[in-house]
Structure 1
Amino acid sequence: VAASVCLASRTQLYDLRGGRWSERILDGLGLDPSRLALVQPSGTAAGTMHADLAASLGFSRPPLVVTGGHDQACGALGVGLTRPGLASVSTGTAEVMEVSLAQPVLNETLYRGNLSVYAHTMPGLYVAMTLNHSGGLMLRWFRDTLCQDEMSLAHSGGGDAYDLILRGASPDPSPLLILPHFAGSGTPTFDTASKGAILGLTFATTKTDLAKAILEGLTFELRTNFDLLHEGGVRIDELRAIGGGARSDLWVQLKADILGVPVAVPRVTDAACWGAAVLAGVGAGVYTDLAQAVEAALHFDRHFMPHPARHERYNNRYALYRELYPAVSTLNHKL
């Protein structure tokens, strides 16, 4: 049985600095290391599938089995995080940011922020990971609960309900503040009892205001993690957006304006599939150099720069957002 270094280092049984299963942890838990998988770099041919299993799955011959990696790390590889200082943000059901590191950053700041640091699928590199449980799921909840008209129009006209919901949204901050803890909070607080909150509602509030505020709240939460990484000494030169949320120019521009960094979007936003495919190609001998294989097929067709005036306005709004969780957390815990 084999496991990639990437996935082994997600088990909390692996010594990142030593590059092996941690004898200290295994001894403390009474675990026999011989019962654990052989750890190999991502993209290593581990053997072939058992013939009976291959036949039952419809393969004409047993396929090669190659070590892969954590889905988010595969996405980071697929969008070109092959050197330190680059970051990816994957917006799907949840929203996850991965930052590539030359060495494992294991300091007090990242520890207290509950950030995962583990081996990258790119051998020799590491990644730090942030997490927001809500992500695109929160926008889907809003669409399904409050936007039946837009869904009907999109269905009859062949359009996109999200485009209709956000049509006419101002590029400036929404009049609302939303705490996007609809499934508890992820990093840095990991407060499973936290809940969502909406502040600023009036009779003048529109569905577009709410939709825009949801995107802002999610991106403010992303900035909270972004700033934490910076405080922990992690450099981020550029952000690369992948996943379903990367299809929205409005949302990606919002990330650039709130975070204050350039954001690039690849032509293929399903980067995790591509990253895993390249690892399989390296293991099968189709490619000889992992980084070159990724870069050769990677094309960015959209680039978003932070707008200076909007970045300043969002800085002011972000300062208010930072007060929101402490202001409502005690009450949320009583609900």
Structure 2
Amino acid sequence: MADRMLFAGMDVGTSGCKMLVYDLDGTIVYQSSRKYQEEGSDGYRELNPNLVMANVREVLKDVAKNCKDGITAMAVTSLGESVVCLDKDNKVLANSMLTGDCRGIPETQEIIDILGADRIFETTGLPPNELYGLPKYMWLNRNTNAVEDATAILYYEDFVGYILTGQRKVGYSSAARSMAFDIRKFEWSEEFLKLAGIRKEQMSEPVPPCTVIGTILPEIAEELGLNKDLKIVAGGHDQTCAALGSGLFALKDGECGMGTCEFMFTMLPRVMMTPYMMRNDFTCIPYVFPDTYLSSIEVTTCGALKNWAKDSIFRDIDRKCREEGRNFFQYMDDLSRDVKTDVMVLPQFGSAGNPDLSMDARGTITGLTIHTKPEELYKAILEGMAFQMYLAYERMQELGTEMNCIAVTGGGAASELTLQIRADVFGMEVHSLESAEAGTLGCMLMSATAVNAYPSLEEGIKRAVKIKKKYVPEANMTQYYREKFERYKRFYEVMHDFH
């Protein structure tokens, strides 16, 4: 009977929300999704929380209608940093600023001047940067009344949990994106929050992964048609939940999520915050398992850069593909598969990831001639993202981290060429997974473990996370990329901050 229990994960992201229902073997029973648009211009990037919640409700209704057996428990994973300010009547007071929003850059330096970069890193595990929440909350407090008037300040994970249960509790990994959360004490830093005019009681209570937040409110269960005994479980930041859903729990495993941005996690041998880590913008964040920590590296453009190239440089090819009913990316993968080129791309098109995080960066293309073919430029984009990630990983190895393989998830994992390039550049196996939705699978694992449907998270991973295909590095291509990577490093050092 227990094997027939259903569990769900909901992913609330920048461009849409989705919910997947699973059995304990990790098989998808039903899924539903909705798209929405971000707002803003001139460097402002925002989400309307009312729009997001309306779509979340639609998804929940759809799932309830089509899963007659009912769901035992669910957890929510969501985009990081962005907050929802609610007044005493649960009215939304402001739009949410997204990652990549230009606001908060001067405030970041002000925070550093007040607290000191070392202290910020030692407390939060985050090298101070406008990417994270606190400087954006400072801007919000100075330019609106939202913080002052808020009864509750929530991330999208606990925003959904609060609406469903009436309880304000948030997973550690969501709280850790704030740059105001003490990762050793697992509590809010009142001193840090105060810089943004935030009181501790406005924030949700931080709780460990797999904590049952509460049972769905009767009126919400009736409105949406959900199981009246549905348990809501603490989830977390989307990248952390995706790491769990990809099976990351051994010290020498790595996980890479390829979406709009690309995010790679490696496990740290212990909690550590060193000057070297801060110089390279390497994080130390709490993971799902007790006393485990991750460090992350990222390429901030990834899917966004590929889509830009499709819509601009390759727009005529894209139009022809659509006319012929072909997938543009598959067509270009096939066309460029065996191409070798001197073209190189620095993928910092508007923002940059490790080892020099910046929300005000510029990309560069070099090696072009009048004979350069579209497939060379396309291949160079894929290689550039791989080189940038390997550049950061090469520096991260100074910390004592070591990977034997990388599990890859997200939309980018659909490209076999991309995964083979990664295997060749990194010189290690790259695994695609049966489940393309690692974030919601990670939520399922936590929700099922929380109600004892699995004896442990490790047992859940062994049962539900399955490898689809292994990409093995080809020795001749690994050597080719080693030589090209050395040129890329020189290219990066000259151009990464040229503008």
| TM-score between the two structures when normalised by the length of structure 1 | 0.90
Cα shift at 1:150: 3.7
Cα shift at 1:181: 0.6
Q: Which amino acid aligns with 2:371?
A: A
1:222 and 2:352 matched: no
Distance between the aligned counterparts of 1:187 and 1:173, measured in 2? 26
Unaligned segments of structure 2, at least 5 residues: 1-167
Instruction: Work out whether residues 55 and 62 of structure 1, in 8 Å CA contact, stay in contact via their aligned partners in 2.
Output: no
1:79 and 2:223 matched: no
> Which residue matches 1:3?
170
* Superposed CA offset, 1:2-21 (max 9, x none): 12222233323333234444
> Which residue matches 1:287?
454
Q: CA RMSD in A?
A: 2.3
* Superposed CA offset, 1:116-156 (max 9, x none): 22111234322111121110111111112233444344434
Distance between the aligned counterparts of 2:250 and 2:311, measured in 1? 40
Instruction: Work out whether residues 252 and 402 of structure 2, in 8 Å CA contact, stay in contact via their aligned partners in 1.
Output: yes
Query: Quick one: which of 294, 318, 323 aligns to 1:151?
Result: 318
Identity %: 25
1:167 and 2:334 matched: yes
1:202 partner SS: coil
Instruction: Work out whether residues 86 and 238 of structure 1, in 8 Å CA contact, stay in contact via their aligned partners in 2.
Output: yes
Q: Which amino acid aligns with 1:232?
A: L
* Superposed CA offset, 1:184-233 (max 9, x none): 21121123332111111111101100100000111111111111210222
Deviates more, 1:148-157 or 1:106-115: 148-157
1:232 and 2:399 matched: yes
* Superposed CA offset, 1:280-334 (max 9, x none): 22223332311111221222121112222221221121111112233235542xx
Instruction: Work out whether residues 102 and 124 of structure 1, in 8 Å CA contact, stay in contact via their aligned partners in 2.
Output: no
Instruction: Work out whether residues 214 and 232 of structure 2, in 8 Å CA contact, stay in contact via their aligned partners in 1.
Output: yes
1:199 and 2:366 matched: yes
> Which residue matches 2:98?
none
Cα shift at 1:23: 6.6
Q: Which amino acid aligns with 2:441?
A: W
| TM-score between the two structures when normalised by the length of structure 2 | 0.62
Deviates more, 1:8-17 or 1:123-132: 8-17
Distance between the aligned counterparts of 1:135 and 1:293, measured in 2? 30
Does the C-alpha gap of structure 1 residues 228 and 330 become closer, same or farther in structure 2, counting only changes over 3 Å?
A: closer
Distance between the aligned counterparts of 2:314 and 2:445, measured in 1? 40
Q: Which amino acid aligns with 1:217?
A: G
1:183 and 2:333 matched: no
Cα shift at 1:105: 2.7
What are the within-5 Å matches in structure 2 for residues 1-335 of structure 1?
A: 1-22=168-189, 25=192, 33-59=200-226, 61=228, 63-171=230-338, 173-329=340-496, 331-332=498-499
Instruction: Work out whether residues 255 and 406 of structure 2, in 8 Å CA contact, stay in contact via their aligned partners in 1.
Output: yes
Distance between the aligned counterparts of 2:363 and 2:180, measured in 1? 34
Q: Which amino acid aligns with 1:193?
A: D
How many positions carry a matched residue from both structures?
Answer: 332
Q: Which amino acid aligns with 1:137?
A: A
Does the C-alpha gap of structure 1 residues 324 and 192 become closer, same or farther in structure 2, counting only changes over 3 Å?
A: farther
Larger relative contact order (Cα-Cα within 8 Å, sequence gap ≥ 6): 1
Does the C-alpha gap of structure 1 residues 29 and 185 become closer, same or farther in structure 2, counting only changes over 3 Å?
A: closer
Cα shift at 1:158: 3.8
Q: Which amino acid aligns with 2:230?
A: P
